Chains A and B, each alone.
Chain A
């Protein structure tokens, strides 16, 4: 069975500061890891994914994520937060059958 944990329900950060949203996973076999963002009353938007290769993955809107196999983590990062980044962020792990298991989500609040 595969699982994802997002240990923080909410992350607060000041605009212009770096942000990190944490994610740890458990899966047998190679992990396929994703980050999605959900704005209020909207669907999920794909941000980035890790399949193989470089541990640092760059995605949309200036976000990046670092895959750490030893710590089974895939934390989402951005060097300088914007108020418009405030949203609900989901980490997900996929298997070879492309079945995604999502974490519980982390609400990011960026304050001016």
Chain B
């Protein structure tokens, strides 16, 4: 049983297109996150949601719009894709967001290539 799953695993698309990445967790966690890992393997948080509400938005361009239909899902929609959006996007979840020290569990990643 996959704890945090993402679809698709690979995504190749043209500049200017709109695409979505889906994430689901079956851990019963309240908090979910999106991270971006660039070509140099540097990881940076993009968003976090707690129980469907946005908690963190780390100055991500508004072309990126997360949507959480319920606390088990956090999807990422990207409009007008640019070359610089090429990266691996990781979804993660944790039991809760407050208090610190919560372990985050990561999905397998979605490798996005914008041509």
Which A residues are within 8 Å of any B CB, using their own CB? 30, 32, 34, 36, 38, 41-46, 49, 51, 88, 90, 94-102, 104-105
Contact = CB atoms under 8 A, between A and B. Distances in A.
Interface in B19-74: 31, 40-45, 48, 55-56
A49 B98 contact: no
B84 interface: no
Contacts of B108: 42-43
Interface string B87-100: 00010101011111
A51 B101 CA distance: 6
Given A42-B109, A43-B109, A46-B105, A94 B100 contact: yes
Contacts of A32: 100-101
B-side interface size class: 20 to 34
Contacts of B43: 44, 90, 102, 105
Contacts, number: 67
A67 to B, nearest CB: 13
A83 to B, nearest CB: 21
Contacts of B98: 96-98
Contacts of A30: 100
A89 to B, nearest CB: 11
Given A42-B109, A43-B109, A46-B105, A96 B100 contact: yes
Contacts of B97: 97-98
